[in-house]
Amino acid sequence: MAVSKQELPKTMISPETGETLRRGTRPFLVTYRHKSMTVELPGYYPETGSEGVHVGDDMAISDLALRTLKEEIDGIPSPATIRRVREKLKLSQREAGSLLRVGENAFDKYERGLVEPSGPTSQLLRLLDHHPKLIDELRQSAA
């Protein structure tokens, strides 16, 4: 069973130094290529210094920041963008995977952030986002 954020203890002992760490957030710089953004990273931190221990979903915020930077710089759509485009096209995850020929379970993996779409799939999603009527051509060729 997963531990919710409310159930996390307020302190823990550092496995490396033995000192008491307190639950909190610290600024964390996420960099991809030439661009950076700072996020507030949750974790257990010492009174002095920035080295912390991260548990559960603590790193999700830095993962999201990295995906945001990749979307801005490389055009690799984030899980939220993929879901938005799929829903805009009124496709189920299975139907989207079948029409784009990436596999019936691919969109589930894309939208959960487990896998990034390939370059061609990313480009196709971008085109479909700007020209949603093109989905009709994909449907006709699949029939």
| Segment 133-142, tens digit of pLDDT | 999 999 998 7
Q: What is the pLDDT of residues 10-45, one digit of tens each?
A: 999 999 889 999 999 999 999 999 999 999 999 999
Token output for 114: 């487990």
Domain count, the chain: 2
Predicted model pTM: 0.74
Q: Is 54 among the domain residues?
A: yes
Q: Which domain holds residue 110?
A: 79-142
Same domain, 98 and 54: no
Angle at which helix 134-142 crosses helix 119-130, to 10 degrees, equals: 120
Q: Is 66 among the domain residues?
A: no
